[in-house]
C-alpha cells in the first residue's frame, strides 16, 4: 500500500510549524487587542445552513461542498466557510438577546472541493472575525484596518486593498437590470459558465477570471453609480474612514465576493508577489441579510476571513525562512552510561514538573553523540549525569555558549537556568 495525503490536502510537518504558530499567535493577539472574543463551531453543519445562507446558485453550494448523506438523519456538510456557522451560533444561543453587539474571532480548517492548484487547497485554514449587531460604516473600516495591520505585522508588504459596494435590496434590482442590459447583447462572447450565470446570478459574471469575460466586464458601467442614497452615504463614509486612517485602497467595481449574503461593503486584499489568479490573501464585507435569513433580527454584521496557507506562501515569497521547529529547550540531559538511565529519566521528569523545558536521549547514543544532538537543537544548558555525579549528589551543568562547567545540586538548577535564560520554574 502506497498511501498518500489526498489531492488538495497536505501534511504540515514539524519543520513548518514555526510559521503556522507565528501566524496563529499573531492573529489571536491582534484580534483580542481589537476586542474580539474567540468562538469555535463544529467542522460540519446541517447542509441547509449553507444552502440558505450562501445562496443556491453560488459555486460553493453548487459544486464545492463536501456533503454527507447520513441515512435518515439530516444532510451534513463540512463547513466551506465560517461566517454562517458563527451567525448560527450567535442566534442559537440567544446572544443577540443578552448583548446584541458581539465581536468574535475564529481559526480553523475549511473544506471546498476545488481543483487543486498553486496556493489553493481543498482543506485550508482560515483566521477571521465577525462583528454582529451594527451597521456602522466605521465598523467596516475597523475590520479592514485589522486585516491590513495583521499583514503589516507579519512584514507582508506591497499588498493591495480593493473595495466595492454591492448596495442593498433597495438598489440591487437597478444594478441587476443594468448588468443584464449591457451583457444581453454579448452573451456569445462570455464563457459557458457566465452564460449560465446571466439568468441565475448575473452579479457573479463580474467575478469571472476568464480573460475574455474580464475584458467585457472592464467596460461595463460602474454599478456604484446606481447606489441608493443610504448605500451611497455608507460607501462614502467607509472611504472617508479609510482615508482618515491613511489606509491606501482602490475602488474595484468587479469585486462581488461570490456569496449571496453580502451587501454594501465588500473588499479583498491581494498579493502581487504570489502571482496568477490565486493571489488573494483574504477578504470580507458586510452580510446584513444573512442574519435575517437565518431567523435573526435586522442588526447588521461585517467580518473577514484570511487564509493562513496564503499568508505563509506570502512570507516565503518574500524570502522568509521556514522555522526548523526543533523543541525550544532550557536543558538537555546527557546520560554517561546505561546504569544511570533510570535516575536520568526521573531527573527529567522532576525538572519538567518544575516548569523547566527538558529532554533526554532515548536512543542509547554515546556521550559525544548526545552532545552533538544538544548542539544541533541549539540548547544552551546541558546536564551531564553519570555514576560519579550520582554518588556525590550533584549534576554537572555545562554552558554550551561559553564551554564552562560547574557542579550543582538538583535543587539549584531551576534558579541557575532562570538567571541566565529567563526560564521560570512553575
pLDDT at 425: 47
- Whether residue 311 is predicted with pLDDT greater than 70 in this model: the reply is yes
The radius of gyration of the chain from alpha carbons, rounded to an integer in Å, stands at 28
pLDDT at 318: 83
Kindly indicate the confidence band of residue 276, based on its pLDDT and cuts at 50, 70 and 90: low
Kindly indicate the confidence band of residue 350, based on its pLDDT and cuts at 50, 70 and 90: very high
Are β-strands 381-385 and 331-335 bridged in parallel, bridged antiparallel, or unpaired?
parallel
pLDDT at 57: 67
Structural contact between residues 382 and 330, judged by C-beta atoms closer than 8 angstroms? no
DSSP secondary structure of 74-134: --EEE-S-SHHHHHHHHHHTTHHHH-S-EEEEEEEEEE-----BTTB-SEEEEEEEEEES-
How many residues are given for the chain?
A: 426
How many CB atoms neighbour CB 53 within 10 A? 25
From CA 234, how far away is CA 48, in angstroms rounded?
Answer: 31
Structural contact between residues 92 and 12, judged by C-beta atoms closer than 8 angstroms? no
Domains and CATH numbers, the chain: 14-171+227-317 (3.30.930.10), 331-417 (3.40.50.800)
Buried b (16+ CB within 10 A) or exposed e, 317-330: beeeeeeeeeeebb
pTM of structure? 0.85
| 146-193 residue pLDDT tens | 999 999 999 999 999 999 999 998 998 898 898 888 888 888 888 888
Place of cell 531527573: 347
From CA 257, how far away is CA 262, in angstroms rounded?
Answer: 8
Return the SS3 of 369.
helix
- Whether residue 71 is predicted with pLDDT greater than 80 in this model: the reply is no
Place of cell 538537555: 332
Kindly indicate the confidence band of residue 422, based on its pLDDT and cuts at 50, 70 and 90: low
Mean pLDDT for all residues in the chain: 89
Contacts (Cβ under 8 Å, ≥6 apart) of 293: 52, 53, 261
Average confidence (pLDDT) over 402-411? 91
Q: What sign results for the dihedral spanned by CA atoms 83, 88, 93, 99?
A: positive
The helix-helix angle for 17-33 and 137-153 (nearest 10°) equals 150
> To 10 degrees, the CA torsion angle through 347, 353, 355, 357?
50
pLDDT at 142: 95
pLDDT at 326: 63
| 26-58 residue pLDDT tens | 999 999 999 999 999 999 998 889 888 787 767
From CA 142, how far away is CA 242, in angstroms rounded?
Answer: 9
Kindly indicate the confidence band of residue 421, based on its pLDDT and cuts at 50, 70 and 90: low
| 234-254 residue pLDDT tens | 999 999 999 999 999 999 988
From CA 392, how far away is CA 407, in angstroms rounded?
Answer: 10
Fill in the DSSP letter of residue 224.
G
| 99-111 residue pLDDT tens | 989 999 999 999 9
HSE-CB at 113 with a 13 A cutoff on CA atoms is 10
Share of the chain above pLDDT 90, in %: 55
Kindly indicate the confidence band of residue 423, based on its pLDDT and cuts at 50, 70 and 90: very low
Amino acid at each position: 500500500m502506497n498511501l498518500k495525503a489526498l489531492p488538495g490536502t497536505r501534511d504540515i510537518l514539524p519543520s513548518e510549524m514555526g510559521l503556522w504558530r507565528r501566524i496563529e499567535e499573531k492573529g489571536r493577539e491582534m484580534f483580542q487587542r481589537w476586542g474580539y472574543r474567540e468562538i469555535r463551531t463544529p467542522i460540519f453543519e446541517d447542509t441547509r445552513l449553507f444552502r440558505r445562507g450562501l445562496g443556491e446558485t453560488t459555486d460553493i453550494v453548487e459544486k464545492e461542498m463536501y456533503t454527507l448523506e447520513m441515512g435518515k438523519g439530516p444532510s451534513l456538510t463540512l463547513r466551506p466557510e465560517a461566517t454562517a456557522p458563527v451567525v448560527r451560533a450567535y442566534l442559537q444561543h440567544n446572544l443577540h438577546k443578552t448583548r446584541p453587539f458581539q465581536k468574535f474571532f475564529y481559526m480553523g480548517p475549511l473544506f471546498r472541493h476545488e481543483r487543486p492548484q498553486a496556493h489553493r487547497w481543498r482543506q485550508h485554514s482560515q483566521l477571521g472575525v465577525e462583528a454582529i449587531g451594527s451597521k456602522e460604516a466605521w465598523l467596516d473600516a475597523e475590520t479592514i484596518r485589522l486585516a491590513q495591520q495583521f499583514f503589516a505585522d507579519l512584514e507582508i508588504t506591497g499588498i493591495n486593498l480593493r473595495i466595492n459596494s454591492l448596495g442593498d435590496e433597495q438598489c440591487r434590482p437597478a444594478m441587476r437590470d443594468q448588468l443584464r442590459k449591457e451583457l444581453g447583447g454579448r452573451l456569445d462572447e462570455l464563457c459557458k459558465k457566465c452564460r449560465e450565470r446571466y439568468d441565475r446570478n448575473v452579479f457573479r459574471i463580474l467575478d469571472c477570471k476568464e480573460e475574455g469575460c474580464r475584458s467585457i466586464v472592464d467596460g461595463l458601467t460602474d454599478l456604484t453609480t446606481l447606489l441608493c442614497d443610504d448605500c451611497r452615504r455608507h460607501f462614502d463614509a467607509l472611504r472617508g474612514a479609510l482615508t482618515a486612517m491613511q489606509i491606501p485602497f482602490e475602488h474595484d467595481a468587479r469585486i462581488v465576493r461570490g456569496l449571496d449574503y453580502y451587501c454594501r461593503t465588500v473588499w479583498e486584499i491581494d498579493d502581487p508577489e504570489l502571482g496568477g489568479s490565486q493571489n488573494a490573501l483574504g477578504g470580507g464585507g458586510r452580510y446584513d441579510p444573512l442574519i435575517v435569513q437565518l431567523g435573526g433580527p435586522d442588526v447588521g454584521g461585517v467580518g473577514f476571513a484570511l487564509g493562513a496557507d496564503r499568508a505563509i506562501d506570502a512570507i516565503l515569497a518574500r524570502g522568509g525562512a521556514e522555522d526548523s521547529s526543533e523543541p525550544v529547550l532550557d536543558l538537555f540531559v546527557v546520560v554517561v552510561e546505561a546504569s544511570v538511565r533510570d535516575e536520568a529519566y526521573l531527573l527529567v521528569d522532576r525538572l519538567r514538573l518544575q516548569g523547566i523545558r527538558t529532554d533526554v536521549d532515548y536512543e542509547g547514543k554515546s556521550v559525544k553523540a548526545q552532545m552533538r544532538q544538544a548542539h544541533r537543537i541549539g540548547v544552551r544548558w546541558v546536564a551531564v549525569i553519570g555514576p560519579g555525579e550520582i554518588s556525590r549528589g550533584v549534576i554537572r551543568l555545562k554552558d554550551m555558549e561559553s564551554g564552562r562547567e560547574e557542579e550543582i545540586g538538583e535543587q539549584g538548577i531551576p534558579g541557575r537556568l532562570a538567571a541566565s535564560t529567563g526560564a521560570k520554574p512553575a
